Amino acid sequence: MDAIIRQTRRNGSRIFSRQQIIEAELSRIKREVGSKGKTPVQTLSRVLQELRNEKKIVFKSQGTYRLLH
């Protein structure tokens, strides 16, 4: 969630894309959580789905989301 907040602040908007998170935040996320997995991008996609289910983000269009909280 921290990565999404950082990205939306950079954007100046609550709208962000999965690709923006990958490009700007994936290395940091991997360092912070100690990712040893071979599929961190798939893990990111799963986390985005979980955040959708928790109603913290909403799906806008292909790969684009809006932060709700």
DSSP string, the chain: -HHHHHHHHHHTSSEEEHHHHHHHHHHHHHHHHT---S-HHHHHHHHHHHHHHTTSEEEEETTEEEE--
pLDDT for 60 beyond 90: yes
Q: What CATH number should be reported for the domain whose range is 2-67?
A: 1.10.10.10
| pLDDT for res 3 | 92
Please report, for the chain, the start and end positions of each structural domain, with discontinuous segments joined by +: 2-67
| pLDDT for res 38 | 67
| pLDDT for res 35 | 63
pTM of the model: 0.83
Instruction: At 47, give phi and psi (nearest 5°).
Output: -65, -40
How does pLDDT run across 3-54, given as a tens digit for each residue?
999 999 999 999 999 999 999 988 888 887 776 666 788 888 899 999 999 9
| pLDDT for res 40 | 82
